[in-house]
Chain A
Amino acid sequence: MAHRWTNDLTHDDVTPKSAYLNRRQLMTGMAGLGLAALAPKARAATDLTPTDFDVITQYNNFYEFGTGKEDPAKHAHRLTTQPWSIKIDGMVDRPGDYALGDILSKMTIEERLYRFRCVEAWSMVVPWNGFELKDLLDLAGVQSSAKYVAFETLYRPDEMIGQKSPFLEWPYVEGLRLDEANHPLTLMATGIYGKDMPKQNGAPIRLVVPWKYGFKSIKSIVRITLTDKEPPTSWNKSIPGEYGFYSNVNPEVDHPRWSQASERPIGGGFFAKRIPTLKFNGYEKEVASLYDGMDLRKNY
């Protein structure tokens, strides 16, 4: 079932920066005249504008293609994404290899304009295209014993040349609690800006969990396993003291090596101002209840 969650940011917000700036100037002008109330319904768009396509596709952490931010754009062309299938196994009624084409024929692709916050304290705003993960899980039929969802990225060092380095333990793995996976915000993304997912951004299909740090949003997924145990996650295995299982965006809980209170929007050049980081990356209203009674400092 698509459209469970309605974006308060619509396609109209996918506007060129110049137009956005004009609108902003206009509104500032109106505020000066005491006419702010007459401005079109003040949406979050006043402080949120989509990052340029070129920026989203040239600044990536996709360590399967190298450790530099430009490496994925340079090397991801080697990746072959056809044929592609996702193995869904574990506690499901209908385990098996699901061909991507078959999956997509059953899904409604939506546009979701989400904030994207990297654990390294930079951020973007991305117009994703995709479907809700829950719809895919429903396809496989999640059994009642399942409590977690584990994800795995493709392991193919001949094409993903970064996998030849011991930077991380390959393949990359991630995980969500089942209720997080079923949340209507949790997206399986197949494109950005209406185009097929660029290879450097995790083609052909990736996860997007907008209230968590970017590394949770695992790319180029080939396997999804339903399980009753908290699955291992790559960065947690690598540096457990810095990267937890939950990794919810939280300005109150610092990374041991830097503050998470603010973030640098990418694409603004030398003098881009930092902006305050929002709890759950601005999706507190939607997801905070998932963590009722949990110590978010302990469960970082």
Chain B
Amino acid sequence: MINTLNTLVRKVPNWLLYLIGAAYPAWLLYAGFTGGLGVDPVKAMEHALGKAGLQVLIAVLLITPLRRFTKLNVLSWRRALGVIAFFYILLHFLVWMVLDVQIISQVKADLIKRPYIIVGMISLLILLPLAITSNNLSIRNLGPRWRKLHKLTYLAVALGGVHYIMQTKGFEYEPYIYLAVVLGLIAIRKLPKKRAAHPAKRQAA
């Protein structure tokens, strides 16, 4: 069962993932122009892209625990999902800057003065080098440093969750649930692994 599933996952070509990924912002744009996003398409698109970015990053964080606890192996999708999430968040930022705030002096002031904007911006800036090095050449060139660099994903996603909480007005459960899921997925990686060492110990005993 799980092997069939894993084979299926591996058969999905990357271009299909990128195509599905690109379809979402394209649909938002279409819906925005045809009234599907309500009377304020700018905010609707801005929020939808931010949330989708966070959701796809959470999917990326799910891949390792899934493999460990269910043997489901979606590793072949990880790069595409990471790159798609980065583009959602980049678009989220661009919509905020160009369509929402518009005035360049106000954009600059916000980037310096508003803590929730600063946190979001740091998250995006952390993701930038990760997106740039999401290719085989970089993996080869950077060697073991590539893995280290890409561990920054944890920090970027956690900051994204914090940014979501910071922009709320009254009390809402949803952003806290997102952050809890993110922190849970990071923490789960710290669970002790019972591998090789244990059988050896048992034999010794």
Q: Do A and B come from one complex?
A: yes
**A interface, CB within 8 angstroms of B:** 54-55, 58-59, 63, 67, 69-70, 120, 122, 165-168, 238-239, 254, 256-259, 261-262, 264, 266-267, 269-274
Minimal beta-carbon separation of A196 from chain B (angstroms): 21
List, in ascending order, chain A residues with CB within 8 A of B27's CB.
none
Q: A59-B38, A269-B41, A272-B42 are in contact. Are A168 and B102 (CB under 8 A)?
A: no
> Which of A120, A261, A270 makes the CB contact (< 8 A) with B99?
A270
A270 touches B42 (CB 8 A): yes
Instruction: Return 27 A-B CB contacts under 8 Å, by A number.
Output: A54-B39, A67-B169, A69-B38, A69-B40, A69-B43, A70-B38, A120-B169, A165-B171, A168-B171, A239-B169, A254-B113, A256-B114, A257-B114, A259-B110, A261-B106, A262-B102, A262-B103, A266-B40, A267-B39, A269-B41, A270-B32, A270-B33, A270-B45, A271-B99, A273-B102, A274-B102, A274-B103
> Which of A69, A259, A270 makes the CB contact (< 8 A) with B109?
A259
Closest 10 CB pairs of A and B: A167-B170, A55-B39, A59-B39, A168-B170, A274-B102, A259-B106, A166-B171, A257-B114, A266-B40, A167-B171
A238 to B117, CA, bound (A): 21
List, in ascending order, chain A residues with CB within 8 A of B167's CB.
257
Minimal beta-carbon separation of B144 from chain A (angstroms): 41
Q: Annotate B48-79 by CB proximity to A: 1 below 8 A, 0 otherwise.
A: 00000000000000000000000000000000
A238 to B168, CA, bound (A): 12
Residue of B nearest to A119 (CB): B169
B40 touches A122 (CB 8 A): yes
Kindly list 16 other residue pairs between chains A and B, CB separation below 8 angstroms, not including A167-B170, A167-B171.
A55-B39, A58-B38, A59-B38, A59-B39, A122-B40, A168-B170, A238-B170, A256-B114, A257-B115, A257-B166, A258-B114, A262-B106, A264-B40, A270-B99, A273-B102, A274-B103
Tell me, yes or no, whether B116 is within 8 Å of chain A by CB.
yes
List, in ascending order, chain A residues with CB within 8 A of B100's CB.
264
A264 to B40, CA, bound (A): 10
A258 touches B38 (CB 8 A): no
Residue of A nearest to B99 (CB): A270
List, in ascending order, chain B residues with CB within 8 A of A259's CB.
106, 109-110
Residue of A nearest to B40 (CB): A266
Minimal beta-carbon separation of B164 from chain A (angstroms): 13
